[in-house]
Amino acid sequence: MQNNANDSLTQDDIGSLPDKEWNIFLYSGILINIKGVTPQPRLDSLYEIYKNRHLLWLSDSRWRQCQYVSSHLEPFSLLCKSLLSNVLQWNAFKNSTALYFLMSTPFSSENASLEESEKSPEEIELLNENEELCNSINFPWEKLTPFQRLILIKILNPEYLKNSVRKFITEKLGSEYIHRTGTNFKELYKESNARTPLILIHSQGIDLTNTLLKFAQELKGTTRHVTMLSLGHGQAAKAEDLIVKALTKTEQWVFLQNCHLAASFMPRLCAIVES
């Protein structure tokens, strides 16, 4: 990586995402079991009725994830109430094949019609206890950030997540990042900095070692500044030692291979990088 460790870097410079949003995106289905969901008896009672009607597509797990995200991320605070009350908006969401773009503009119910089903006494009683749900509550999805849109798609309609992620990457980074190309270390090097590691993900059977060494030779006229270590059982301490030693020298590269074999070391590696 380039020797710019002393440069002042902001979050915008390195393109980071809020930790809370990233964790919810990755683990929302797990977090509802680990951290639990704040009980909302009245909303839960209405959900039990509506999951056999207009929310037939919304599983119990997805409902709990909606409750979790609505209580932990302010932009989602109206999500659950909107799901229960705004049939038109969420039918549009459910039936859309372009969810990422659908949520870029406010929902409009103009020219839409809905046949109201007869309400049961239990439903009427619950709605009387939650008067704000008697009218349709619009969820302002147009105010979500692009990444927050991905969170909602992952929770409610994950089959469209892959395509939505491609749209997100194209919008934020450019279409070249969604097409398969050879590894261009020269371009990677230009975009790198000494505080942010480069993570190389490649297909099975592909070895980037020779490509990296060739680039190092072309750039520096030598490969002596490159230290390589294949991670695995018992190699974590050695990897940490190599990184610490590299920090005392100029423009040293530490190339850690097979990181997937040392998953337990990754949190420690993250802490080292952040420190």
pLDDT one-digit tens code per residue, 72-103 = 999 999 999 999 999 999 999 999 999 999 99
Confidence (pLDDT) at 5: 45
Measured CA distances, 94 to 58, 70, 134, 256 (Å): 10, 19, 22, 44
Is residue 109 very low, low, confident or very high in pLDDT (cuts 50, 70, 90)? Answer: confident
22-75 pLDDT tens trace: 999 999 999 998 887 888 888 998 899 889 888 999 999 999 999 999 999 999
Do both 64 and 159 map to the same domain? yes
With contact defined as beta carbons under 8 Å apart, do 58 and 51 qualify?
A: yes
Confidence (pLDDT) at 169: 92
Tell me whether residue 209 is in a domain: yes
The domain boundary residue, chosen from 172, 190, 206:
172
Do both 145 and 48 map to the same domain? yes
According to the 3-state scheme, what is the secondary structure of the chain? CCCCCCCCCCHHHHCCCCHHHHHHHHHHHHHHHHCCCCCCHHHHHHHHHHCCCCCCCCCHHHHHHHHHHHHHCHHHCCHHHHHHHCHHHHHHHHHCCCHHHHCCCCCCCCCCCCCCCCCCHHHHHHHHHCHHHHCCCCCCHHHCCHHHHHHHHHHHCHHHHHHHHHHHHHHHCCHHHHCCCCCCHHHHHHHCECCECCCCCCCCCCCCHHHHHHHHHHHHCCCCCEEEEECCCCCHHHHHHHHHHHHCCCCCEEEEECHHHHHHHHHHHHHHHHC
Do both 159 and 63 map to the same domain? yes
Average pLDDT, the chain: 84
Q: Across residues 206-230, what is the average pLDDT?
A: 90
What's the predicted TM-score (pTM) here?
A: 0.63
Do both 143 and 190 map to the same domain? no
Q: How wide is the angle at C-alpha 13 spanned by C-alphas 10 and 14, nearest 5°?
A: 95
147-172 pLDDT tens trace: 999 999 999 999 999 999 999 999 99
With contact defined as beta carbons under 8 Å apart, do 138 and 112 qualify?
A: no
Bigger pLDDT: 245 or 155?
155
The fraction of the chain above a pLDDT of 70, given in percent, is 84
| Domain with 56 in it | 19-172
Tell me whether residue 73 is in a domain: yes
The total domain count for the chain is: 2
Bigger pLDDT: 32 or 12?
32
Other beta carbons within 10 Å of 103: 24
Do both 75 and 115 map to the same domain? yes
Q: Across residues 168-178, what is the average pLDDT?
A: 88
The answer on pLDDT for 115 being more than 50 is no
Do both 78 and 190 map to the same domain? no
Is residue 131 very low, low, confident or very high in pLDDT (cuts 50, 70, 90)? Answer: low
Tell me whether residue 145 is in a domain: yes
> What is the rounded CA–CA span in Å between residue 163 and residue 151?
13
Tell me whether residue 43 is in a domain: yes
Q: How far apart are the first and last CA of the chain?
A: 17
Bigger pLDDT: 183 or 95?
95
